Structure 1
Amino acid sequence: MKEQIVCKTSDVQPGEIKESYFGKQNIVVCRTPDGEFYAFMNQCIHQGARLEKGLICGATTSNSKPGSYDYCHKGEILRCPWHGREFDIKNEGRMLAAPEKKLAHFQVRVEDENVIVYK
């Protein structure tokens, strides 16, 4: 099993994205509002945009009624900077519009103040 320290916990605040490397692979480390860390390839599966230039946001539910929006998953959606594709951080980076598609993701654990990515 390959593993590597990619950053310190203090380098990524809840709701932030940080670019890093896992070996030679360019990745993004995302931290959700609950303090959990996730790591994905730094490339949108649509047309290859660098996801570190995107943002972490939320989404509206399909239960929203016309003229109103129910906001959910605040801080759990990674949005591509080019075309707005949205990926569920907590669900293996699955695309909201097409859940069968997902970002390449990595396992993450925290030891002391180190964020460690492994595969």
Structure 2
Amino acid sequence: MEEQIVCQTSDIEPGDMMKAAFGKQTILVCRTPDGKFYAFLNQCIHQGAPLDKGMICGATTADSKPGNYDYCHHGEIIRCPWHGREFDIKNDGRMLANPDKRIPSFNVRTEGENVIVYK
């Protein structure tokens, strides 16, 4: 099993993300508002944009009406910086518009202050 310490828990505030190295790959480490860590390949599946240049945000609910937007999943959605594709952090990086597609993800665990990514 390949594993590596990629950062410290204090490096990422809840609701934020950072770029890190995992072996020869560049990954995106995300921390959701509930404090859990997730890791993905730092590359949009559409045209390869670096996801760390995007943002973590929320999404509108299905109940939103024109001109009245109800938000959910605050701090749980990665938005691509180039074309606005959105990926659900807590649902294996699945694209909101097409759940059959997702960004590759990695396993993450914490040990003390260490954030460890592994395959």
Q: Give the TM-score range, shorter chain.
A: over 0.9
Pairwise CA distance, 1:45: 0.2
Match of 2:42 in 1: 42
Pairwise CA distance, 1:102: 0.1
Pairwise CA distance, 1:65: 2.1
Match of 2:115 in 1: 115
Give the distance between the partners of 1:109 and 1:14, measured in 2 at CA: 15
Unmatched segments (≥5 aa) in structure 1: none
Unmatched segments (≥5 aa) in structure 2: none
Task: Let me know the Cα RMSD of the aligned residues.
Answer: 0.7
Q: How many residues align?
A: 119
Output the TM-score relative to the length of structure 1. Answer: 0.98
The share of aligned pairs that are identical, in percent, is 73
Output the TM-score relative to the length of structure 2. Answer: 0.98
Pairwise CA distance, 1:50: 0.3
| Residue 56 of structure 2 is aligned to residue 52 of structure 1 | no
| Residue 68 of structure 2 is aligned to residue 68 of structure 1 | yes
1:86-110 CA distance string (max 9 Å, x none) = 0000000000000000000000000
Give the distance between the partners of 1:13 and 1:65, measured in 2 at CA: 32
Matched residue type, 2:102: K
Which consecutive aligned stretches of 4+ in structure 1 deviate over 2 angstroms post-superposition?
A: none
